[in-house]
Amino acid sequence: MGKKSSKDRLTNEINAGSMADIAFLLLIFFLVTTTIVQDKGITVKLPPWSDVEVDATKLKTRNVFSVLVNAQNQLLVRDEPANIEQLKDRAKEFIMNPRGQADLAEKPTKAIISLKNDRGTNYKTYLQVYNELKAAYNELWEEEAQRKYGTAYSDNMPREQKKAIKGKIPFVLSEAEPTAFGDEK
Amino acid sequence: MSKFSKKRGKATPAISTASLPDIIFMLLFFFMVVTVLRDSSLMVKVNTPQASELTKLEEKSLVNYLYIGRPKETYEDQYGTSPRLQLGDKFSTVDDIPLFLEKHKIKVPENKRARITSSLKVDGDVTMGIVQDIKTQLRKSNQLKVNYSAKPKND
């Protein structure tokens, strides 16, 4: 009697052999539909809106690193034409002023980058310029972190250290209202 | 001694495949979690430019997407070829942005609202005019955290 019941149970067991196939089918479906999107980009903090125009004339010209991009995607850096390739190194030199030149920033905390573009400027060029300026600061922060703490500048370094570096070399970028010479319409 | 060697030589034991479904299920769950089903289809051509100084967008639920580009061929007759803004799944104007931001905001828990980021997915060939208008509108709506979407530079 006991033997018979165990036999019954055996025959009633569900065959799990096809489970793997079913799982495979689902797996393949998700494999095909998955797009592991890497959402990355340049994060920017826009200034709050105010109707009062900021007066830039109060600043000393030596502390302002002006970058102008026109509708032909040409660059004018501190009133002379320049290439995108030179931009990063020039910005770095301007901010740190290693040789204490009289026409570069007094000190990193006073340095201001002023970016102005035209409504006809290509977005690609604009982003490239922004990228280079950000790269200049990132490299300076990296150098500062290496010099002071002997570690790489990264998100997982202590907050105070990061704050100290950013306090010494603050990223100040002001964007002026663009001109409208090359607007498309 | 001879007893052991005899047995081994005769037949290699078959590998048990009983755990195979479990392994496959594990993979399945991984892909199920990772998968993001797109909710809006793109009506504008967006080919983001390349950049090197990138930061990753952390929480997907805190991000709203604004697409800017020229309409795709199928929509050219209706909407022309000048750059347009797409919010959600329809063409929009700059004036629709505040409502769009508000609609996204109410879905986010209150303590996280300060961390909402707007991801601007802008085509590289678009001129800055429309981008500038959108930036101004974002500033007026007090949405100041912005991420210019870009592809990593491979060099």
**3-state SS string for chain B:** CHHHHHHHHHCCCCCCCCCHHHHHHHHHHHHHHHCCCCCCCCCEECCCCEECCCEECCCHHHEEEEEEEEECHHHHHHHCCCCEEEECCEEECHHHHHHHHHHHHCCCCHHHHHHCEEEEEECCCCEHHHHHHHHHHHHHCCCCEEEEECEECCC
Q: Write out residues 56-75 of B within 8 Å (CB-CB) of A.
A: 56-57, 60, 63
- Range list of H helices, A18-83: 19-33
Confidence band for B148, pLDDT divided at 50, 70 and 90: very high
CA quadruple B67, B73, B76, B78: dihedral positive or negative?
negative
> Would you call A73 an interface residue with chain B, using a CB distance cutoff of 8 Å?
no
pTM: 0.77
Distance CA B99, CA B105 (A): 10
Residue A77 structural domain: 64-175
Contact A118, B128 (CB under 8 A): yes
Say if A113 falls within a structural domain: yes
**Identity of residue A171:** F
Please give the pLDDT value at position A174.
84
Please, is A121 exposed, middle or buried when counting C-beta atoms within 10 Å of its C-beta (0-12, 13-18, 19+)?
Answer: buried
Confidence band for B155, pLDDT divided at 50, 70 and 90: low
Please, is A46 exposed, middle or buried when counting C-beta atoms within 10 Å of its C-beta (0-12, 13-18, 19+)?
Answer: middle
Q: For A132-146, what is each residue's pLDDT tens digit? A: 999 999 999 999 889
Confidence band for B71, pLDDT divided at 50, 70 and 90: very high
> Would you call B53 an interface residue with chain A, using a CB distance cutoff of 8 Å?
yes
Q: Collapsing DSSP states into helix, strand and coil, what is residue A91? A: helix
| Distances B41 to A115, B38, B68, B91, B100 between C-alpha atoms, Å | 34, 7, 13, 11, 17
Q: In this complex, which of B56, B120, B128 lies closest to A178 when CB atoms are compared?
A: B128
Q: Write out residues 74-113 of A within 8 Å (CB-CB) of B.
A: none
> Would you call B129 an interface residue with chain A, using a CB distance cutoff of 8 Å?
yes
* Ranges A10-19, A157-166, A174-183, most confident: A157-166
Nearest to B112 by CA among B39, B55, B54, B63: B63
Q: For A72-119, what is each residue's pLDDT tens digit? A: 888 888 888 888 888 899 999 988 888 888 888 888 888 888 888 898
Question: Is the confidence at residue A3, as pLDDT, over 60?
Answer: no
Confidence band for B37, pLDDT divided at 50, 70 and 90: low
Distance CA A11, CA A13 (A): 6
Percentage of residues in chain B with pLDDT exceeding 70? 90
Q: What does pLDDT average to over chain B?
A: 85
Nearest to B150 by CA among B58, B81, B68, B55: B55
Q: Which two tokens stand for residue B127?
A: 């001129």
Q: In this complex, which of A31, A117, A123 lies closest to B126 when CB atoms are compared?
A: A123
Please give the pLDDT value at position A33.
76
Please report the ipTM that was assigned to this predicted complex: 0.74
A79 Rama class: left (phi>0) / alpha (psi -120 to 50) / beta: left
CA quadruple A166, A170, A176, A178: dihedral positive or negative?
negative
Q: In this complex, which of B37, B131, B150 lies closest to A41 when CB atoms are compared?
A: B150
Tell me, what DSSP letter sits at residue A175?
E
Please give the pLDDT value at position A2.
46
> Would you call B28 an interface residue with chain A, using a CB distance cutoff of 8 Å?
yes
Q: Which two tokens stand for residue B31?
A: 């892909």
Q: Using only the alpha carbons of chain B, give its radius of gyration.
A: 26
Distance CA B26, CA A67 (A): 53
How far does Cα B75 stand from its chain's mean position?
23
Q: For A19-58, what is each residue's pLDDT tens digit? A: 778 888 888 888 887 766 667 889 888 888 877 766 666 7
Q: For B48-63, what is each residue's pLDDT tens digit? A: 899 988 888 888 888 8
Query: Total domain count for chain A?
Result: 1
Top-confidence residue, A154 or B100: B100
> Would you call A134 an interface residue with chain B, using a CB distance cutoff of 8 Å?
yes
Say if A12 falls within a structural domain: no
Confidence band for B145, pLDDT divided at 50, 70 and 90: very high
Say if A1 falls within a structural domain: no
CATH classification code of B44-152: 3.30.420.270
Say if A100 falls within a structural domain: yes
Q: For B80-128, what is each residue's pLDDT tens digit? A: 888 999 998 889 999 999 999 999 999 999 998 989 999 999 999 898 9
